[in-house]
Amino acid sequence: MTEKSFRIRARHLRLGYAAAVGAALLFLMPVVPAFAQWAVYDGANHVENVLIAARTLQQIDNQITSLANEAQMLVNQGRNLAGLPLSTLSTLQSTISQTTALLAQAQNIAYSVQSVEQQYQQAYSSVSSGMSDGALFSQAQTRWHNSVGGFEDALKLQARVVGNIPSDSSAMTQLVSASQTSTGALQAAQAGNQLLALQSRQLSDIQAELAANGRATALQQARDAATEAESDAQYQHFSQHDAYMPGTVSMFGSGGD
């Protein structure tokens, strides 16, 4: 039963009860027969009956009002407990999974402390003058590939973050509209929570992009530092050779004519 129908029914009950009380009062009024001229009218008893009926009617009216208020409270509770029909959780989870997959595809040096320690030791901090020219060239090529791969990974992640903007805008518009048109506290709270989840996902994108950019920059800086060590090692190799000594060169097999 809705609140409106409940109040209409309560009004009918009041009218019906008032009519019943009126009929009871008419019934309680003394009827003096024409042949009984000696009957006495008890006014005090009549007034008491009227007061009792009035108090009873007031109590019933108060009970009806109380029931109407309780019905309204139940209606409000139902609105507050109604769930939000819109959910963006699956979309957010899918976007996070895509970003995570891009991070997992990091080329050459992964986002792993163990991987960084191992590969950095092999390609960046092991340059020495005792290495052959072939080994120096191989390490230099590895460092170049790492730097190029790092910048490519950063560009891919930036493209993913930018690609998320249209879907984020659409989700934000839907959630704000759902929050503004919510019928109860629960729907408003759920819309607000989903907006916070969207912001958290966007912050995760920014964090991932900063990590990718920082990784690319760090790889390039490490490459520059290793290149200086490589240049020093190559100079050491060159300086170990004997100095050039001029000599007589015979051309065309002649003896000098």
What are the tens digits of pLDDT across the range 100-123? 998 999 888 888 888 888 888 888
* The model's pTM: 0.61
Phi-psi region of 256 (alpha: psi -120 to 50; beta: other; left: phi over 0): left
Q: Are 140 and 227 in contact (CB under 8 A)?
A: yes
**Which tokens is 51 given?**
């007061």
pLDDT for 27: 47
pLDDT over threshold 90, residue 234? no
The mean pLDDT of the chain is 80
Q: Are 135 and 194 in contact (CB under 8 A)?
A: no
Interacting residues of 186 by C-beta distance below 8 A, sequence separation 6+: 80, 81, 82, 83, 84
pLDDT for 133: 82
pLDDT over threshold 70, residue 20? no
